Amino acid sequence: MTLQQLLTEGKEYLRQCEITDFELDACLLLFHVFGIDRGAYFLRQQEIVSQEKEEKYRTLLAKRGKHIPLQHITGYTEFMGLDFHVNEHVLIPRQDTETIVEEVLRSCEEKRVLDMCTGSGCIAVSIAKLGKPHSVTAVDVSDKALQVAIENAKINHVPVDFIKSDLFEKCMGKFDIIVSNPPYIETKELEMLMPEVRDYEPRLALDGKADGLYFYRRIIEKAPDFLLDKGSIFFEIGYNQREDVSLLLEKQGFSQIECKKDLAGLDRMVSAVWKKGI
Ligand code: GLN
């Protein structure tokens, strides 16, 4: 069987399993198994493949056919042009989250940055790698998530201080910037998510409790104790949470509340500034 024939089989299999991006996913799994990229595929598509690789590919296709996320199968994803290790203990970094990272990168030079609910570490590591912050601290409540985040800091060769803590419980010191993409999906919405997310991504990273705002409330309540004067807070939000999160920030005494949209034109980030004595 040639590489091209194997790919055709893979596409057909994933189409039958009703995988949305069946063509792309069949390609990416093939590239993963053969350690090739698109260019190498076109040069080698008529090559006969070994029995062993053929079987390996079919094993991975069967997993994807069960709606296991592609990134869990390959173990990697790309975010901000960087490589990140992922597994079932962390949320897979989303392209939408690049919106908040790009915004923080504009103002993080020489700043002390705290990433609350770091998960895979994608936000903290990207800021440490692509910006010039004074320091980056990253917090998560899950040991297993922190293991992944620590590995991601290593893979990308950046220094990040990791703290296992239930939100600010074990945090110390003051920061110029707090950034967070907390769990923000309403509990009742979880069952409506696509199977890849609903069945395979960690509930802990998704569930924002009854109204989806639980973590914003808890973070906003304590953030002033951990922010320097004129420090900023940046939140990723769900498309319908701009008003609610802005109101929580306003009530707590934050000013300069702003919203940014993602590439799809949906509200995706709210930021605000903390000023003492106002
Ligand atoms: N901060 C991580 C991310 O952006 C994890 C988010 C989460 O677990 N809710 O992917």
Q: What is the pLDDT of residue 277?
A: 57
To which H or E segment does residue 166 belong?
Answer: none
- 91 CA from centroid of ligand 1 (Å): 6
Residue that the structure tokens 């991504």 belong to? 201
Q: Is the CB of 122 under 6 A from ligand 1?
A: yes
Separation of CA 251 and ligand 1 centre (Å): 25
User: According to the 3-state scheme, what is the secondary structure of 86-146?
Assistant: CCCCCCCCCHHHHHHHHHHHCCCCCCEEEEECCCCCHHHHHHHHHCCCCEEEEEECCHHHH
Q: Which has the closest alpha carbon to 189: 227, 241, 247, 226?
A: 241
Nearby residues of 143 by Cβ (< 8 Å), 6 or more positions away: 164
**Ramachandran bin of 83, using left for φ above 0, alpha for ψ from -120 to 50, beta for the remaining angles:** beta
- pLDDT of res. 80: 98
**C-alpha torsion sign, points 184, 188, 189, 192:** positive
Neighbours of 162 (CB within 10 A): 20
CA–centroid distance, residue 206 to ligand 1 (Å)? 8
Q: Specify the pLDDT at position 205.
A: 96
Distance CA 128, CA 220 (A): 24
pLDDT of residue 275: 86
Compute the distance between CA of residue 60 and CA of residue 168 in angstroms, rounded to an integer: 40
DSSP string, 183-231: --B-GGGGGGS-HHHHHHS-GGGTB--TTS-HHHHHHHHHHHHHEEEEE
For residue 84, what pLDDT is reported? 98
Could you read off the pLDDT tens digit of each residue along the chain, which spans 278 residues? 999 999 999 999 999 999 999 999 999 999 999 999 999 999 999 999 999 999 999 999 999 999 999 999 999 999 999 999 999 999 999 999 999 999 999 999 999 999 999 999 999 999 999 999 999 999 999 999 999 999 999 999 999 999 999 999 999 999 999 999 999 999 999 999 999 999 999 999 999 999 999 999 999 999 999 999 999 999 999 999 999 999 999 999 999 999 999 999 999 999 999 987 54
- 92 Cβ closer than 6 Å to some ligand 1 atom: no
Atom of ligand 1 nearest to the CA of 93: 10
Whether residue 205 has its Cβ less than 6 Å from ligand 1: yes
How many angstroms separate the CA atoms of 241 and 268, rounded? 9
- Which among 122, 120, 85 has a CA at the least distance from the CA of 100? 122
